Amino acid sequence: MPEILVNQHALTGEGPAWDAGAQRLYWLDIPRATVFVYNPADQSNRAIDLSARFGNIGTLAPRRAGGLIIAPDRKIAFLDLDNGQVEVVLELENEHPGNRFNDGKCDPLGRFVVGSMAINQDGAAHGSLYCIETDLSVRTLRADLFISNGLGWSPDYSQFYLADSGSRAVWAYDYDLAHGQISNQRVAFTLPAGEFVADGMTVDQQGMLWLALWDGAAITRWNPQSGELLETCSFPAKRVTSCVFGGPQRNELYVTSAAIGLDAVDRQRYPYNGALMRLKTSVEGMPTYAFGG
């Protein structure tokens, strides 16, 4: 059974990233533009409210130089965790003023791979996936995404995985780690019919994918080579949004969720919508990498 760590009632809790050095979890509430720092040692959950400056924050990752790299609105910025100061270093997608950044993670060489989406979905694919190099140069990895989501790498970093929440398919690509390029798109697995959609994702050391199901009240574990569903872990939140492995042995799955848009029935049936949760597992997960710039 999952533990309820913080009953935050986050509108859209997202972006969990584990800092192994500090033994801290970073996560956020997207529409409230608030970054959280959760300390398992004392169960504190410090909030850094940036809503006076940004409309939302889509994702984050640790930064080798200290603090975090964050993706507010259509910008890329550095956040100083000591004083809460923010330095905006990039602004993208000026041609899509209705877009925002969504999910993002760093590869082992410190690149930040981050995707975008339209804030108000209109049935068209306005999102893209970008690779931000450590020198802050930007490359587009692919376009025509509805909601760029759920990304991760295989344990040998030869494979890259991506979920578009507008599709039932989760894709696999060949990943060129030396150059940060993707190629050879194919379907890793396809979600069964249902109201739920693919959201955030992480990978374990066995190469299996742990995928959050928005409106599915679950984290699902998949074999991307065979397309087989291996396990379903239920949670007391309808909109499970993302997950990451953390803890001293990296076998604790930290899970975020969302309370946004739920009616009274769903709020009663799922009492921990918007909570930060944790599930002890029998496997070790992949590490969270930091941005190298």
- At 91, list the tokens: 């602004």
Q: Using the 8-state DSSP alphabet, how is residue 268 labeled?
A: H
To which residue do tokens 């490359």 refer? 139
Bridge partners of residue 132, in order along the sequence = 112, 138
Catalytic pick from 29, 103, 107, 199?
Answer: 199
Bridge partners of residue 42, in order along the sequence = none
Q: How many CA atoms lie within 13 A of 193 on its CB side?
A: 0
To which residue do tokens 């209109």 refer? 122
Sign of the CA dihedral with 262 first, then 242, 47, and 280 last: positive
Structural Rg of the chain based on CA atoms: 17
Q: Is 164 a catalytic residue?
A: no
123 within 8 A of 109, measured Cβ to Cβ: no
Buried/exposed code over 109-130 (b: 16+ C-beta within 10 A; e: otherwise): ebbbbbbbbbbeeeeebbbbbb
- At 206, list the tokens: 């066995």
Positions marked catalytic: 199
